[in-house]
Structure 1
């Protein structure tokens, strides 16, 4: 079974975080192979992946799109290179216990990185200046980011900023699908395949060969 993590642009700027990630991910059980692929448009991929979250949500889709678009626009402006790395895992799926164990460990690693290397870092907030012109009832991937006007504020960690017009940007380094949703996992891999991210031309390195 194929599963992905995505190392986002902010993680690429944090060597300590990257070392921690790869040191731990290489030792997770039941993973048959690990391959790294270069990705040159994180915000485009994010818009496609996160729209799935919107479609599966039982809450207010418009508010969720606004929240997700806030972070997508944060990456668009703060990390203009917009690049990342797709980590493709092939998990031994002889039985469901193997899959569950590996997925949970990948999920825990993502949480550990956010706790160690995202908490207590600078805070970013964003306000859409032309919000009335944004159509939040259409999919995220159909929203033209280049046409959006924003204002971004930066504060030190734990700064008590509370302006309802500004929403927090979540720079959380690693994307990984919900370990409890095989449909979401398969959908993420399908998006990357369809966008031609997972191909031999973009292959950067093989960390673990097929066993």
Structure 2
């Protein structure tokens, strides 16, 4: 009995340690994606970065709960002052930027993508990339774009039509990034099936 109790006590601690490591690793990965060179489009106040790739990958690979925690950790570190946001920025000054809505949307987008992958995880292996892609696009279209566009339009004093037209510039890039999310996540799930079938 004593051995059984000891084993039961070790298992939860192991799960917690694994979760903490995964959350921290993906938070760092999102930061790396944000710090890679950004693409500036003429007349665009918000640069194109790989942040959303890291956010969506965290959501679909870790699941909704851990994915959100990874994104929140990343945001907390950045708002605390470390230069982990796009173009090496950080601190509370980002709250006043036109791009702040996109940051606010990231945890919601990760939650949507992670939850949808969890719901569709029992599909045949060949269809899994489509499920992941669809989940990532849902996160983009339901959270990242609406909130990001709304705040950007408000901060730049745009009409709704202007804000939507400007925000639509990001959509082709998001499609490409979400295709990459599907490819990378599917490879992770093939190598580590527990990441898909035993999500916590």
TM over 0.5: no
The TM-score, its normalising length taken from structure 1, stands at 0.29
Relative to its length, the structure with more strand (as a share) is 1
Q: Whose relative contact order is higher, 1 or 2, with alpha carbons under 8 Å and at least 6 apart?
A: 1
Relative to its length, the structure with more helix (as a share) is 2
